[in-house]
Structure 1
């Protein structure tokens, strides 16, 4: 049956498509007590990490025999971190029903972004490609030119962080992109804070209390190799069969071996 709608448009509203940037919580366990502890450890001292971002809860990583989830408790747990859980995807029929009963919506079409692997070589072009509009420039790096004392924290949201002075013990530098410290790094440095596994940490003198890339971290309780402690070093994340690991490579500086 064909339905004809009036040609005149309403004066008080319009319906339009919209794209909403989401963050995703990839739930790997139904143990909410353990989740609460790990959230507090990672984000408890970064109150501005999120900015009231809408959140989709991703359940596809849970084991097939995972137990029930108290979604009301999970939603209440996430709100103090300034995220707004609105949707869920990837769960079993029972989990999805429980999520809907808690006021979340099903979002089967939501996709969690991941870095695409770079091609080994470009495909030959048989003809000239049509000109495309240049992409919008990425936000410039946040530059800090004063020493950071104990208790101070700097977060470069959505961009790189460049520090031109010492990061003292007890200070924290955090970035969604790379972190460059052109001085001794003796506090905590967390690059790729929102999951960018390609982020790196660079320092002219690496003596950190903690280094982290995309949530994979190493503390001073596990001493760094002699070849990089106190030396110009880059830190990167390398995938492996046993999981991702942090790799530290010396940087050759002019005038040094």
Structure 2
């Protein structure tokens, strides 16, 4: 008997740190066990994390009873299903039956009901657990723009240009810095519990102890570079690795992170 090594659910990290669980096999016990394992391996990342359920990987929408069993199982596994991802009219009816919101265009790219590929779309701006400190992109920028102040942390000294966003002050626990449609450069530390996100690449000239997400709008060519690697999580175009999955010999080293064949690759920099 052939062994199926493919995961039943493909977990991807969205632009605002909300996880998108794309269901590829409607095997509820297996999906629940996979999620329980993720929570146990990285409780700080996935414990009580908001999750959007995406049934777009199935040939048809599940019935209400199966979908409800999945939601109950995921809650028991330690995460919090908060919505369904946009799909067909069947998914819309299912969201109403389950009492969950439907997030249109949550994925960076999604499939139309006729099976064709739709154009890239931004993630829905659901309020994250920490406030985003963003500088909007503009065709030309004459002067640096200051990032907004987070209520949970001191002001972050950041400036933007048409090339990228530069974060001069340390990014502390509870802060989230987002570079809209550009690269992000952090000149100092990204602390544990902090999150840096860019639609382009992320460059960190100090220790990375929190989370770094590059290619937030689906740019698979984006990369992450850091001088001292202790990341809780790194992600590119939604694909991710947590610290527990990273070889110990890379921890504390200068590394680069990139996407190859839809897999996260991490290598030490010479």
TM-score using structure 1 length: 0.52
Residue 141 of structure 1 aligns with which residue?
164
2:101 aligns with 77
In structure 2, the CA distance between the partners of 1:201 and 1:140, relative to structure 1 (3 Å rule), is same
Q: Given the superposition, is the C-alpha separation of residues 176 and 70 from structure 1 closer, same or farther in structure 2, using an over 3 Å criterion?
A: same
Is structure 2 residue 266 aligned with structure 1 residue 251? no
CA contact (8 A) 1:58 1:88 kept: no
2: CA distance between counterparts of 1:73 and 1:157? 33
Residue 151 (structure 1) aligns with: 174
Separation in structure 2 between the aligned mates of residue 223 and residue 109 of structure 1, nearest angstrom: 36
The answer for the alignment partner of 2:228 in structure 1 is 205
Q: 2:58 — aligned with what? A: 62
Counterpart of 1:112? 119
Q: Return the offset for 1:88.
A: 7.5
Alpha-carbon spacing, 1:146–1:237, altered in 2? closer, same or farther (3 Å) = same
Displacement of 1:162 in angstroms is 0.6
Seen in structure 2, the aligned counterparts of structure 1 residues 82 and 195 have a Cα distance that, compared at 3 Å, is: closer
Q: Quote the Cα distance in structure 1 between the aligned partners of 2:22 and 2:239.
A: 17
Does residue 234 of structure 2 align to residue 238 of structure 1? no
CA distances 1:167-220 after superposition (whole Å, capped 9, x unpaired): 111111011110000111111111111221111100011111111111111112
Q: Once superposed, what is the RMSD of the aligned Cα atoms? A: 4.2
Which structure has the bigger radius of gyration? 1
Quick check: which one's helix share is greater? Answer: 2
What displacement does 1:146 show?
0.3
1:199–1:78 Cα change, 3 Å: farther
1:251 offset after TM fit, Å? Answer: 1.5
Deviations 1:40-81 (A, max 9, x none): 96xx77xxxxxxxxxxx995x533x654634145486245x9
- 1:122 corresponds to which residue? none
By relative contact order (CA 8 Å, sep 6+), the higher-ranking structure is 2
- TM-score where L is the length of structure 2: 0.49
Unaligned runs of 5+ in 1: 1-24, 46-56, 92-107, 114-135, 253-257
Q: Which of 206, 210, 224 is residue 247 of structure 2 equivalent to?
A: 224
* Paired residues of 2:234 and 2:242 also in contact (CA < 8 A): yes
How many residues align structurally? 166
Q: CA deviation at 1:29?
A: 5.3
Q: 2:220, 2:55 → 1: CA distance?
A: 19
Label 1:30 to 1:231 Cα distance change in 2 as closer, same or farther (>3 A): closer
1:188 and 2:211 aligned: yes
> For 2:224 and 2:205, how far apart are their aligned partners in 1?
11
Q: State the distance in 2 between where 1:198 and 1:161 align.
A: 15
